[in-house]
Each structure stands twice: as structure tokens, then as C-alpha cells.
Chains A and B, each alone.
Chain A
Amino acid sequence: MTNNPAAKNAVSTTNACKLCTPLGASLAFKGVEGAVPFLHGSQGCATYMRRYIISHFREPIDIASSALGEKQAVYGGGPNLKKGILNVMKKYSPSLVGVASTCLTETIGDDMGLILHEFREEFSDLDLPEVVHVSTPSYQGTHSDGFHRAVHALTDQLADPEAEKNERIALFPGMVSPAEIRLLKDIFREYGLTPTVLPDISDTLDGPALEDYEPVASGGTPVADIKALPGAAASVEFGSCLPRESGGTCLEKRFGVLNTRLPIPLGVRACDDFYDALAELSGSCIPRRYEQERGRLVDAYVDGHKYVFGKRAVVYGEENLVVALTAFLAEIGVQPVLVGTGAEGKRLAEAVESACGDLLREQPLVREGVDFHDIAEEAEALTPELVLGNSKGQRYARAWNAPLIRAGFPIHDRFGGQRLKGIGYEGTQELFDRIVNALIDKKQSDSPIGWGYI
């Protein structure tokens, strides 16, 4: 890789560019029908994460906690975990409780598998929900890892080896928005395919106004569908930096379900790969609707190319999204200068290089394990003119006087983050329009002339 030697990160972290693992796991569990996420740890973690997630989705987010106190931290949290699940059962009648560990319980060494095994025996007379557990000490990995680990845990722990063969396609979309999941389901339908999307946050984290309060928001992947996954015809998962163990690889290894890993379908090339894959899975060619969408997108690329060409961009955030965004920028003629993530060990540089192909005239600096301080240290000299990422870089973008195109999670300083789309030809179109308009807007407000035509 023609890259500068990695800049030395500071020992301390200033404005982290990542979140902790249990948050990702909670998000994934929120996408299962009737599920209540449950953090095994002290009360504070759950409350903080709820608040953080609510500010993005603007939906009730109930995350239970075993609320460990000092005593339990010393003698073990098993009894609280069991009692907590019973309480959740009483109040939420969940079909699934998704238990994620935290730093605290990982460090005191609670064996969740064992505790939950005991729990099932002790209370075998009750009508117990499914309980899936995932180990998520946040001193290992980031929220993205937590998310993928939870998806893997759901698949691995619920999959029924006896499941009958069926025609469904398992889709593991990764951390995309509720609106994007709705879009993906439409696309599958258009190809005549029925997906089991795991997780499916399209309704649970972006629900309608209702007559009455729902303790657990309706929607989500039905537990029965997850159990039936081993019978799926194939599986598709999105991401260029996925962990080795994922929902898709689990199905492939254990049940021989053919898995296809695709980059997040963002940009013409990545979308082409995705729509081609669907054509192959369905045996039908691309519906005219999407051919038209693709045509319009390319037409827009042409119409808008001058506004964006050569603009120097900084991209940061969750590793898979960062690769997808960078590849997309490369194809519209924006020059990514710095690409950063808080995650480590993701082979980000390789992923970026291969996703951008030979479209870039110059490779960007690619940084793993950085915080916003590290990003800013290098970015300043690179004079960015465009910034893409979640809302946490807002103050930096402002300091660089560059527009911030908000994408991913979290978006705390704008309205409608849960409805943003960037994937599919349709979503790419939306994102492209936003970028072009942001640059035009900047040009307009920087100029004394209020152009009536641009």
C-alpha cells in the first residue's frame, strides 16, 4: 500500500471515534421480534446506552440491566441476572431476551453460558423465552464488533439443525438504517425473493404513531424465522471488514448454506454487485425499475460531476460504512484524503484499496484505532472540503469549514437519521444529491452573489 507510515496515536483518547461493544449488541437484539436487550452489568451502562440510542432513533429503547451493585460485583452477578430475566418476563413477556455482558461482568468472570443453563433448569416449569447471550467486553472491539457478535450469537444459538429446506434468502445487512432495511426488503420482493433479514430494525426502531403503548415495539425478525435459517437457500451479508465469524459464515459452516459476502451496496459498482447477486439467486434478470434507477443515478453522476470533482474528503466512522463511502466517493470524483475508524485490526487499508479499484488518482491515508483528535491532527494539513461520517465529527467539520454529510450512527444533531438512505441505486441517489447540494450550499453562502441558477 502506498501509504505514509501510520501516524503514532496518542496514549490517551480524546473524543473517541467508536462506541462500546454492548451498545452494538443491543442494537442487533432490538431487531428481533419480541426481544428485550439485557445488559449484564451495572445500571449505568444500560441507561447511558438507551439515552444515546434514543437520541438517534427517537423511539422508546428499553434495555434491561441486571443492575449489579457492589456486593454482586464481588460475589458474582448470577442471581441478579436470573432475577432480572424473570422481571423482564413479567413485564414485557418477551419472546427473546438478548443478554450482552459488559466490562464489569466480563472482568469478574461471570460465566453467562453456565448461569443461563442453570436458569433454564431452575425455571423449567415456566414458559421461558429464548435467551441468547453474547460476550461483549468493551475492552475488546467496538460497537460494530458487538453488533456482529450478537448477530452471530442469534444465528448460532437459535438455528434449528432440523429446519426444513426453504426458499428464503438469509440477509445480514449489518448496521444500516430502518429505512434502508425497508428498501432492501422491497428490492428482494421485486426479484421475487423472500429474505429473512437479521436483524430487522425497520419497524422496531422506526415505528408509527400508535393507539396504545407497546412494551416491546412490534416488528423485527421473528424468532421462528431465525430458527429456520439453516434451511435457507443462500445467505448474503454486507461489509468489507466483517469478522471471520458472522451470521453468514455460521450458516455456511454448520449447515452448508452458501454465503455471499458483498460490500455494502452503496455506489454504482457495489450496487451492481448486489443486484447481480440477486439476479443470480432469483434466476431472473434485473427488473426494469432498477435498470431505470441505475440509469437515472448515472445520469445524475454526469449532471453533478463538476460540483464534486477533486473535492478533498475526510471519511470516518464504522469500518464497513467507511469503506463503502470511500469507494463511492472514488467513483464520483471526490478525492478521499483521510479515512479513519476507531476500530482496530480490520485491514481497513486493504479494504479501501480494493474497493476503490483504480478510480483514485491518489490513495488516501487510512487510519485504524484513531479518535477524533488523531483524525484532526492529520486532517488539518490536508485541508478537507467535505466530511462524511456520523454526527460526532460536527465540531471538527465546522472548524475545517467543510460541510458534514451525515451518515451512519449516531446522528444526534439532525432530524431523521433513522430514515437516511445510502444503499441501493435509490439510496445512492439520495446521498449523491445531498453531497452535491451541500457543496452548492457552501459555495452559495460563501459568495456575495446569491446565484439564482447554479
Chain B
Amino acid sequence: MTNDSTILDERRAQVFRSGSGDIDIACNRQSLAGAVSQRACVFCGSRVVLYPIADALHLVHGPVGCAAYTWDIRGALSSGPELHRLSFTTDLREKDIIFGGEPKLEAALLELIERNKPKAAFVYSTCIVGLIGDDMEAVCRRVEEKTGIPVLPVQSEGFKGSKREGYLAACKAMFRLVGTADISDVPELSVNIFGDFNIAGETWIIKDYLERMGLTVVASVTGDGRVDDIRRIHGASLNMVQCSGATLDLAKMIEEKFGKPHCRVSWLGIEDMAESLYKVAEHFAHLDPGIMERTADLVRSELGKIMPGLARYRADLEGKKAAVYVGGAFKAFSLIKSFRHLGMEVAVVGSQTGTKEDYAELAEVTDPGTIIVDDANPLELQEFIKEKDVDVFVGGVKERPIAFKLGVGFCDHNHERKIPLEGFEGMLNFAREVHASAMSPVWNFVPRREARHRDVGKECGHDE
């Protein structure tokens, strides 16, 4: 390990450099007190997964903040209802904390269901609800009886772990819906899209590919999602799971109960995109021999559309360096490959919630010397950016000012992005995004890159 003075001793095991022996990164730990983690909470994890179900009511049972900070923060688009873009909360007050929040929860649910006519309601518990011990199950059951729609408690008390536990809680809540509708008209050549959030319409791109291959998409569970579709997801022959953590549990539950298999996919970057489509095609090849060829045609024609553009960007970006810090590790893999396509090297890679296996794999696919980090914080990130002197940082809004302060380009790859980065066309958008930041002339003026600034300062006696 090098000059890692910014790393707290207790965090050393969560930082690794490729090529420095066997990786044994300590992940899935509770964040360290006082370390300014970039992580969120269980509730956040549940909210992420269920958020894009657009015709459900999402009621946050707790004090105002948890709901206020998650109001319309994600770019998950809907082709119809937009109930998910509103922020509902019981806004618990002091007297609810003292006497219990159940009456308010029940009244709020009845009021909101009456007003918004949702297809189902998800009720999220927050830290405080875990403490005051409201019986959400009971309230939900009562409201379900009164209103006739599914009312599903999501046990997402923030302090009971990290985002991962939230994913599981969300899957459990969704699973209650699965199997409650007729599937007799679901064809055999059918799939479900899991773990794609339709950010900036990405799911629609993927759906289009799948349909061109001859497949029927029964449900896109977590992007442009619909309650009635989720009730039928057990009918599809294959569940395609993206995003390592978020929906794998649901896929496993379905596999166990309904015997429907799943496969892991990634819709990011050229290789992963194509490989994922081929994987799905292969699964159905015995039923539909033509599918392999249709898939190959599709990949060829889509690649043909983007290659000239990619080559132009690559000419400018060749040799530049990137840092990647993302929520889940699956994205990191695809990004490393994508950057290679642009002639760029990933010098720092990290995630909030990667697993031991994820990090071992990262160590394998990255070049020696690459910094691999679990659950980083701003001080570490800025240190890594400087040490590796990267040109572009890929992350979320919380990382943006760190990059910008250091005069480093930035590409938003989080759930609030406004530009589709998935699919083949997404790869071209990604290249454009990286290019637009890395090639901007503004970096000429930032102090870290500009020697002139200092000289001028000295001449005028500004340099203290």
C-alpha cells in the first residue's frame, strides 16, 4: 500500500491494489462511524427497486425527511401512470412517536388510495417505525380488506443494514404479488426484465431488441413497471437479471416456487450487451432455431450504426484514464470494458455494495496497480483521483463535486442520469458523455492543470 494516509486504519482492508497479491477485501461491513460513507440505507435500497412501479402508491411511513429526499430523484420513466414520481409520507409527528403511528398510517393509506386509485400500495418502514414498533403488517392487512387492492409492507428500517438488505425487503414485498394473475396467454418465447430501471427510457431500448429477436416481454419489473404485470411474471420462461444485488433474490424466489430459471445479464457496453442477447437467444434456440440468426443480425446492424461514431470519440480519448465509483459492482465490470473500447484505462474502481466475489473478479480484469475500493468516502476518492491523475470520473451526484473541484471530467452513471447509457446506442451516448467532459476546454483553466495561474498570482503578490 502506498501513501494512503487518507484511509482510516479500520478501512484499510476495504482498499486493494490489483497485482498486489491475493485479494481479500473486507466488504459488506457496516459503514464506519464518522467516515462520511457514500452509502445510503436499507430504505434506500427498497425504494430504488420498487420506485419505478409506476401505478403503485409508495407511502413512506416515517418522519418527513426520508420521503422528501427521495421525491422524484430518479430518472425512471413511465409510459403511462406516474404515481411513482410523487412523494407520499405519513410525516410522523411527536405525538405519533409517543402514541404509535398506526392510526395515522391507516388513515393516510385510506385517504391516498381513495384519491390516487393505485393498483397496489407499498408501505415502507423507516428507522423510527422500527423503534416505535408499529405493526405494519396488521395495518396493511386491514387496509387491503377495506380497499381491495394489495397493500404490501416493506420492512426497510434504515438502520438494519445497508442497501442490500433493502433489496431483499423489496423482493419479498413484490413476491407477494407474483402468481396472483392468470398466465394462460403467456407464450413460451417469453422473458422478464429484472433489475433495469428504465432510466431515461433504457428499458424501452432493451425491450425493442428483445422483441426484434422474437421474444415477448411479460414484465419489466423494476422499470416502467406495472402491478398487473408483476402478478404474472411467473408465466415467463426466463428471467433476465441485471444489477447484481437488486433483484436476484426475486429471481431465486421465482425459480424455487415456479421453476422458472434466470440468467445474469448486463445491458451496458458492447460486449456485455451482445453477450447477454446471445445468452438469452441460446436459451430459446431449441424452441426457435431462427432466433440465433435474428440476434446476430440485430447485433450486427446495431453495431454498424454506432461504430463510426465510436471511432471518432476514441481517436480523441485514446490513452486517457478513468475512475469508476458506482453503487453495484456489476456496472463496474461493464464500464471497464466500455472504457477499453474507448482506448481508456480504468485506474480506480469501487462500489458501495460489492461482494467478495465481485472484488475478486475486479482484481482479475483490471490492470496491475488499479485501485479497488469498497464503500469509499470523499477524502479517499479525491486522493485516488489525484494519485492516478485520471481524466474522467464516473459516479453519481455525490461524487460530481469531488471530481469537479479537482478539475476532472465527470460522467453521471447513476439513477438520476437523463441520458440512456444502455444498449448499443447507449454505448455511443456514453462515449459522447465521456468525450464531452474529457475534451472540454474548461480544464485548461482549473488551477490544478494550469501553471499560469500561480505565476500570475505571484507577480501580483497574491500568493500568501
Residues of A within 8 A of B (CB): 10-16, 18-20, 22-23, 38, 41-52, 54-55, 58-70, 72-73, 80-81, 83-88, 90-92, 102-104, 107-108, 137-140, 142, 207, 209-215, 342, 392
Contacts and interface: CB of A to CB of B under 8 A. Distances in A.
Nearest to B104: A11
B86 A15 contact: yes
B398 A73 contact: no
Interface string B27-55: 00011111111111111100000000000
Contacts of A209: 405, 407, 445-447
A42 B159 contact: yes
B65 A20 contact: yes
Contacts of A15: 71, 86-87
Given A65-B37, A73-B159, A138 B131 contact: no
B33 A87 contact: yes
Contacts of B112: 12, 14
B245 to A, nearest CB: 16
A211 B457 CA distance: 13
A67 B35 CA distance: 9
Nearest to A211: B447
B48 to A, nearest CB: 12
B41 A91 contact: no
Given A11-B107, A43-B40, 9 more contacts: A11-B104, A13-B67, A14-B87, A23-B65, A45-B158, A54-B401, A87-B32, A91-B379, A104-B158
B130 interface: yes
Interface stretch (B90-98, B202-210, B258-266): B90-98
A50 B39 CA distance: 11
Given A60-B405, A210-B447, A104 B128 contact: yes
Interface stretch (B56-64, B222-230, B426-434): B56-64
A36 B398 CA distance: 17
A64 B35 contact: yes
Contacts of A19: 64-65, 68-69
A11 B96 CA distance: 12
20 contacts: A12-B89, A13-B88, A14-B87, A42-B127, A43-B31, A43-B158, A44-B44, A45-B41, A45-B65, A49-B69, A54-B397, A60-B378, A62-B378, A67-B32, A67-B34, A73-B131, A103-B126, A103-B128, A210-B448, A211-B448
B128 to A, nearest CB: 5
Contacts of A18: 64, 68
Nearest to B96: A139
Interface string B153-195: 0000011111000000000000000000000000000000000
A91 B448 CA distance: 22
A70 B44 CA distance: 16
B6 interface: yes
B297 interface: no
Contact of A44 (B43, B73, B96): B43
B90 to A, nearest CB: 7
Contacts of A69: 30, 159-161
A139 B63 contact: yes
A103 to B, nearest CB: 5
Nearest to B65: A20
Given A22-B65, A60-B401, A67-B35, A13 B127 contact: no
Nearest to B442: A209
Nearest to A60: B401
Given A13-B89, A66-B33, A138-B63, A47 B38 contact: yes
Contacts of B73: 51
B142 interface: no
B40 A139 contact: no
A158 to B, nearest CB: 21
B8 interface: yes
Given A19-B65, A90-B8, A60 B94 contact: no
Contacts of A14: 86-88, 112
A74 to B, nearest CB: 9
A366 B201 CA distance: 40
A12 B402 CA distance: 38
Nearest to A41: B127
Nearest to A61: B401
A150 to B, nearest CB: 16
Contact of B36 (A63, A90, A102): A63
B127 A103 contact: yes
Most central of B41, B65, B70, B130 by chain A CB within 10 Å: B65
B307 interface: no
B68 A16 contact: yes
A364 B454 CA distance: 55
A86 B159 contact: no
Contacts of B270: none
B178 to A, nearest CB: 28
When A and B form their complex, which 8 residue pairs have the shortest distance between CB atoms, in order from nearest?
Answer: A44-B41, A20-B65, A84-B34, A87-B34, A84-B33, A12-B108, A48-B69, A42-B159
A51 B30 CA distance: 20
A214 B382 CA distance: 9
Contacts of A43: 31, 37, 39-41, 158-159, 162
B158 A44 contact: yes
A42 B92 CA distance: 18
Interface string B86-128: 1111111110110000001001110110000000000000111
Contact of B41 (A42, A61, A139): A42
B386 interface: yes
A20 B44 CA distance: 17
Contacts of A63: 36
A11 B90 CA distance: 8
Contacts of B454: 211
Contacts of B158: 42-45, 104
Contacts of B401: 54, 58-61
B132 interface: yes
B165 to A, nearest CB: 10
B15 interface: no
Contacts of B8: 87, 90-91
Contacts of B34: 38, 64-67, 83-88, 91
B360 interface: no
Among B71, B91, B130, B447, the one with the most A-chain Cβ atoms within 10 Å of its Cβ is: B91
A53 to B, nearest CB: 10
B126 to A, nearest CB: 8
A42 B38 CA distance: 13
Given A20-B64, A44-B40, A84-B34, A107 B132 contact: yes
B66 interface: yes
B90 A12 contact: yes
A213 B64 CA distance: 34
B387 to A, nearest CB: 12
Contacts of B90: 12-13
Contacts of B71: 15-16, 392
B406 interface: yes
A92 B31 CA distance: 17
A48 B406 contact: no
Nearest to B380: A91
A207 to B, nearest CB: 8
Contact of A20 (B31, B39, B63): B63
Nearest to A215: B379
Interface in B209-265: none
A253 B93 CA distance: 31
A428 B440 CA distance: 35
A110 to B, nearest CB: 12
A81 B33 CA distance: 7
Given A87-B32, A213-B382, A48 B65 contact: yes
B89 A16 contact: yes
A3 to B, nearest CB: 24
Contact of B40 (A20, A38, A48, A72): A48
